[in-house]
Amino acid sequence: MIRTCKIFFGCLIVLLLLWQIPSIYNFFAVKPTDTPFTLYSSVVGKFAVLQHGEDKKMTYKDHTGGEYTEDQFDSILPTFYYRQLITDGRFPDSICGRAVTPRDVQISNFNMRISPLDLNAPKIGVQQLLESMSGRVDLTLPDDVFRITDSGIEFVKMATNEIDDRKSDRFTEMMLSKGFVFPAYRMSGNPTDRKEYDEGYVMLDANRKLFHIKQTVGRAYVRAIELPKDLVVEHLFITEFPSRKWLCFMTDVEGNFWVVERDSYAIKRTEIPQFNPEAESMLIIGNMFDWTVRVNRANEQCYYAINADDYTLIDSLTYSTPNKTMPGLKFTTTKDKFVKPRFVN
């Protein structure tokens, strides 16, 4: 008995040391790697880099070493600094040979963040499905929520906490008639009234077939989206950007990044190199000419410039961000929102 107690106590001490020594070392000794703010400029065909110089002043350069003044920097990134250019009366009539207005730039600009913290997190099993065609300018939140079960979709009235059988049957029948196999493998939506329009949800059914589901004038809109042969989708990210160009972004099981265009439901593969959204974070700053895609990988931060029209890779840039942390036992990480013991390098 006492021997068991001593072994248990010894194990606890070892675990506490494995947890505390690396965490104290990492807190005091490891400084986060600072990488400069970087955006691709289609005007000069290079990555524009903004960073603090040695005298703490901002420096404006491109990745080949060319230097710029602050005003020149605004001009080589006209879609990012368009408000500054308008204020200065310097907004151009055309960019890269294409006639543009500030409104065009405003509508086509978008930012998208994909973080493992959002994917690897506890989820509540009920969601809201907004009315996509209410006839009003402002969206309103519905008075019910839905859950996807093994046999259908169930709407629950919030006021009474009771299932709305008629609506549930109507949606379930429509989804089944379009070939949806319950339960859903994945789904992505953005159920908030703080957006310009609503596209409902994109869902992968139990067979990983892709569907677009929304509520229009109280009725179910269900569209099966044909996937290219051999494409096995893993994660979905609904977009709902002001440009209304895309329905969603997707990653497949091999780490390729795809877009689904909104009007045609055309599916196109981008040339963003392999990306694992469960372990790596991504930031896309897009405009009508190009996307600057930043992917934070284990020991490097990669920037990719992607052509906004055909999604081809224009250029890439990598900053080394070596991991200098001491390996040890951790209960939380920056990759998920779960608390559990794991050994982290």
Partner 1 sequence: MMIKAIFYKEWIKTRWYWLLALLLSIGFAGYAMLRVARVYSMKGAEHLWIVMIQRDAIFVDLLQFVPLFVGLALALVQFVPEMHHKSFKLTLHLPIRATRAVTAMLSFGSVLLIATFALSLALMWGYLQSVLAPELWQHIILSTLPWYLAGLAAYLLTAWISLEPTWKHRVINGVIALLLLRIYFMSPAPESYNSFLPLLAVVTLSYSLLSMLSLTRFRDGRQD
**Residue ranges in contact with partner 1 by CB under 8 A:** 1-2, 4-6, 8-9, 12-13, 16, 19-20, 121-122, 124-128, 141, 143, 145, 147, 156, 158-161, 191-192, 331-332, 337-341
Closest approach, Cβ 142 to partner 1, in A, equals 9
Q: Could you give phi then psi for residue 254, rounded to 5 degrees?
A: -95, 0
Nearer to partner 1, 136 or 340 (CB): 340
Closest approach, Cβ 325 to partner 1, in A, equals 18
Closest approach, Cβ 146 to partner 1, in A, equals 10
Nearer to partner 1, 145 or 295 (CB): 145
Q: How far is CA 13 from CA 3, 7, 18, 20, 267, in A?
A: 15, 10, 9, 10, 54
Closest approach, Cβ 301 to partner 1, in A, equals 26
Closest approach, Cβ 47 to partner 1, in A, equals 36
Nearer to partner 1, 64 or 161 (CB): 161
Nearer to partner 1, 126 or 133 (CB): 126
Closest approach, Cβ 184 to partner 1, in A, equals 15
Nearer to partner 1, 164 or 300 (CB): 164
Nearer to partner 1, 86 or 121 (CB): 121
Nearer to partner 1, 99 or 159 (CB): 159
Q: How far apart are CA 95 and CA 316, in angstroms?
A: 22
Closest approach, Cβ 342 to partner 1, in A, equals 10
